[in-house]
Structure 1
Amino acid sequence: MFKSIEQDFQVNYRYKLHFTVNLFGTGNTLLRDVFKEYGLHESSESGPFKVLFVVDDGVAEAHPRLLDRIDTYCEEYPTYLDRVETIVVQGGERTKNDSANVTEILSAINEKAICRHSFVVAVGGGAVIDMTGYAAAIAHRGVKLIRVPTTVLSQNDAAVGVKNGINAFGKKNFLGTFAPPFAIINDIEFLKTLEQRDWIAGIAEALKVALIKDADFFAYLEGNARKLRERDDEAMQYTIYKCAEMHMQHIAQGGDPFESGSSRPLDFGHWAAHKLEHMTDYRLRHGEAVAMGIVLDVTYAHLMELITDVDLDRIVRVFQAIGFNLELPIDTESEIKRLLNGIEEFREHLGGQLTITLISGIGKKHDVHEIDNDLMVEALHQVKEIANSKTI
C-alpha cells in the first residue's frame, strides 16, 4: 500500500486601496497607473488590457455622463485600457437576488474573450460589487477585479474585504467566493449624490468595528455624530478611511482571512441584520439592518451584565444622533420566531460551532457560543421601547 502524500503550500495576496477624486477625469492617471503597475510587475504582458466595466444603474442615473466619461478615459489611455464593453446592471440587493445578472456578466466575459490577464471593473454599491466579484471569481477560476465602490458602506466595508457573493434559497450570500480584488479605488465624488439614508447607513459598519476593536474610534464617532449626520465631508472621509483600514488589518492580521474558523467578529450584529433584510424583502438597507442588529445584540449583552447602563446608553445615543431608525420591524410572535431562526441560519452559513460576537465594553469583543432565546426576546422588546422613547 502506498503511503499518503501530503504537501503544504502558501499563497501570498496583495491588494491596494486607493483614494482619489474624479477617477474618470482624463487628467487623473490613477486608474491608468493601476494597469501600468500590473503590466510592469505582475504580468508578462505590457498592455493594453481588456476591460469589462459593470456599472450600477443607480450610479449611472445619478451621474448621467458617467458612461461617456468612462469611454473617454479609456480612449485617452489606449496603451493600457481596452474597454470591450460596459454593462449596466440593477443596483441594490435585488442584483444579488437575481442570478440573471451573474449570467449576463459571465456571457460578456465569454463573448469578449476576457481572460485571466484581463479585468472586470465594478462601479457601484456593495451589492453590485459583491455580485460582480462573484461572477469574476468563477469565470476562468478567477478574472482580475477592480472595485470602484460608490456608497459609504461599500467604501468602508463591502468593497475592502475578500468576499463576494449572491443570495440564494432565501439566504444572504449563500453562494460566494473568497477572492481578493486586484485593487479598490474610493472616489469621494460618488458620495455626493447619495440619498441621506444611504449616506447614514454605511456609518453602521464604522460603529461596528469601533465597538469591537477601538474605543477611541468610537469616541470620535460619538463626538462627530452630528457632523456625520449633516454630511460633513472631512468627518466622513476620516470615518471611511479609519473603518477601511481596520477592516483590512483584520483580514491581514487576524490569522483567518478566508474564515476557516468559527469566530467572525466583523459579523457583529449581522445574524439579525441578515434576517431582517430578508424578512423586509430588502426594503431595509444593509447598514440600517446592521444598526438594528448591533443595538439588539448590545441590549442582549447588557441583560447578560456584560456591559453597563452607561455603555448601552452611549451606544444607543450615537446611533440615534447619526440618524438611525432603531424601530425593529418585528411585531408578531411568528415574526419573532422567524427572526430567532436567523441564529441557526447564521451558524449554518459560518459552519462549525455557533459563535456570536457581543461586547464586554466599548472596544472589547466578547464571543458567546449559545444564545438564550428568552433573553433575546426580552432584548428585542427593550429595543422597541428604546426606539419609541429615546430622542436626541
Structure 2
Amino acid sequence: MQLQPIKQSFKVQYDYQLYFTSGLFALENPLFAKLISDYKEFEPVKLLFVLDDGVKNHHPKLIHQIKSYCDSNKDNLKYTDTIVVQGGEQVKNSDTAIETVLKAINENKICRHSFVVVIGGGAVIDMVGYAAAIAHRGVKLIRIPTTVLSQNDSAVGVKNSVNAFKKKNFLGTFAPPYAIINDSDFLETLEQRDWISGISEAIKVALIKDEEFFQYIANHASALKNREMEPMQYVIYKCAEMHMHHIAQGGDPFESGSSRPLDFGHWAAHKMEFMTNYELRHGEAVAKGIALDVTYAQLIGLITESDLHHILNVMVEIGFDLSLPVNTSSEIETLMNGIEEFREHLGGQLTITLISGLGVKHDVHTIDMKVMAEAIGKLNHQFALN
C-alpha cells in the first residue's frame, strides 16, 4: 500500500501594541495595571521583572517604585522578583545572563500565563526575549525599552537573539512581545552617545522609505543633538511606526526571504561591532555602516555626490563620528568579510540594500569589492581630516 503525504496548513494571528507614556510606575499612572488586567481581569498575574543594571544605576528608586506599584494594584499584579543583569552588548556574548533569567523564571514559577517584564536597552531586551521565548516554549513578554535605539527600533520588532560563534545574533527566535511600552522619562538620563546613536535607525528607515521624514531629521539635526525632547519623541514615534508597518505589511515578518531592507547599513555595522569588541554602540556602528553604503552607492552611480554630501552632513551635524575603525589592508579585508557573513546569516542569495535616491531603496545582489575598498578609503580619508 502506498501512503500519500499528509499536508497541513494553518495561520496564526499575532497582535501586539506599542504604548507611549511617562512615569510608567507612578502610582497615578494606570497604563501598566490596565494592560495586565485586560489580559486576565479576575485574578492577579505573576510578574518577573528583569532590569538592566545601567537603568538601575540611573534610577536607584525604580525597584521600590515597581514593588509599590504592584502592591497598590495587587488585585491584578502579583510581583515575584526583580533580577538585575549587565547592560550593553556584552550581555549577549555568554550564557551567564540567559541562565540567570531562566533560573528566575523557573524559581518564580513563571508560566505561559505569567509575564516577564524586561526594562533596559536593546541588548538586554534581545537577551531576555530569547530566554522568555525558550522557557516553556514561550512565556509572555512585555518590553520596556529605555534607550532611543530600543524605543524606535530593536524593541518594536518580533526578534530576540544572543551572539555566538563570534557572530552577532547567531542564536535567536521570532517571538512577538505581548506589548511594548515606551516611557520617555528613561531617555532623560541617557549618556549623550546613547541619545545620539539611536537616531541612526531613524535615518536608516527614512533613507529607504520616506524622503520627507529624512528631511525632518535634517531640519532638526541640531535640536536632536541638543536633546530637545519634542523632535526626539517625534523621531522615535515615526521610526517605530515605520518599522512596525514594515513588519506587518512587508509580507515577510519572520524573514523567510533574502531581502532585509531594515538591515540597510547593517552588514558593516555588525562586523565593526565585533571588530571593536563591541566598544561601538550598535547605533554608532549603524551610522558608520550607512555612511559606507551610501558612499559605495555614489561610487557606482546610484546616488549623486550632492545627495551623498547631504546625508553625511546631516549625520555629522547630529554628532556621529563617521570614520571607520579600520586602517590596515588586513583590517579592511576583515571588514569586507562581513558581506559574506551577512549572506550566511540571511541565507540564500546575497541581498544588500542600498539607495538610489533619498527615500528610495535599491537592492543589489553583488558587491564590487574593489569599489567597496575604495569607499572605505574615501570615507576614512574624509573624516580622518576632520
Q: Quick one: which amino acid aligns to residue 126 of structure 2?
A: D
Whether 1:282 aligns to 2:278 is: yes
Match of 1:380 in 2: 376
User: In structure 1, what residue type is equivalent to 2:279?
Assistant: R
- Which residue number corresponds to residue 34 of structure 1? 35
Deviation sequence 1:78-128 (CA, Å, 0-9, x none)? 111111110000000011112110011111111111100000000000000
Q: Distance in 2 between matches of 1:19 and 1:239?
A: 13
| Alignment map for 1:102-117 (pairs within 5 Å) | 102-117=98-113
Question: 1:97 aligns to what?
Answer: 93
Partner of 2:337 in structure 1?
A: 341
Query: How many angstroms apart in 1 are the aligned matches of 2:370 and 2:69?
Result: 58
The AA in structure 1 aligned to 2:16 is Y
CA distance in 2 between partners of 1:37 and 1:335 (Å): 53
Distance 1:131 1:167 in 2: 9
2:232 aligned with 1:231: no
Deviation, structure 1 residue 389: 4.0
- The secondary structure found in structure 1 opposite 2:185 is helix
Q: Which runs of 5+ in 1 are unaligned?
A: 41-45
Deviations 1:27-59 (A, max 9, x none): 10100011011115xxxxx32111100000000
Match of 2:176 in 1: 180
> Which amino acid is 1:32 matched to?
A
Residues 180-220 of structure 1: CA distance to partner in whole angstroms, max 9, x if unpaired?
00000000000000000000000000000000000000000
2:298 corresponds to 1:302: yes
Q: Is 1:259 aligned with 2:260? A: no
Question: In the alignment, which residue of structure 2 is the partner of 1:215?
Answer: 211
Identity, in percent, stands at 64
Matches within 5 A, 1:130-279: 130-279=126-275
The count of aligned residue pairs is 385
1:345, 1:255 → 2: CA distance? 25
Please, what TM-score do these two structures have when normalized by structure 2?
0.99
Unaligned runs of 5+ in 2: none
Partner-residue secondary structure (3-state), 1:145: strand
CA-based RMSD? 0.7
CA-CA distance at 1:343 after TM superposition: 0.6
TM-superposition CA deviations, 1:212-261 (whole Å, max 9, x none): 00000000000000000000000000000000000000000000000000
SS at match of 1:86: strand
What residue identity is the alignment partner of 1:222?
Answer: A
Tell me the distance in 1 between the aligned counterparts of 2:317 and 2:101. Answer: 41
Distance in 2, Cα, partners of 1:386 & 1:146:
43
Could you tell me the TM-score, scaled by structure 1's length?
0.97
State how far apart, in whole Å, the 2-side matches of 1:298 and 1:90 are.
34
Q: What's the counterpart of residue 43 of structure 1?
A: none
AA matched with 1:82: K
Q: Which whole-Å CA distance do the structure 2 matches of 1:282 and 1:18 have between them?
A: 30
Cα distance between partner residues in 1 of 2:385 and 2:336: 24
How far is the alpha carbon of 1:386 from its aligned partner? 2.2
What amino acid maps onto 2:27 in structure 1?
T
Q: Residues of 1 paired with 2:189 and 2:21: CA distance?
A: 16
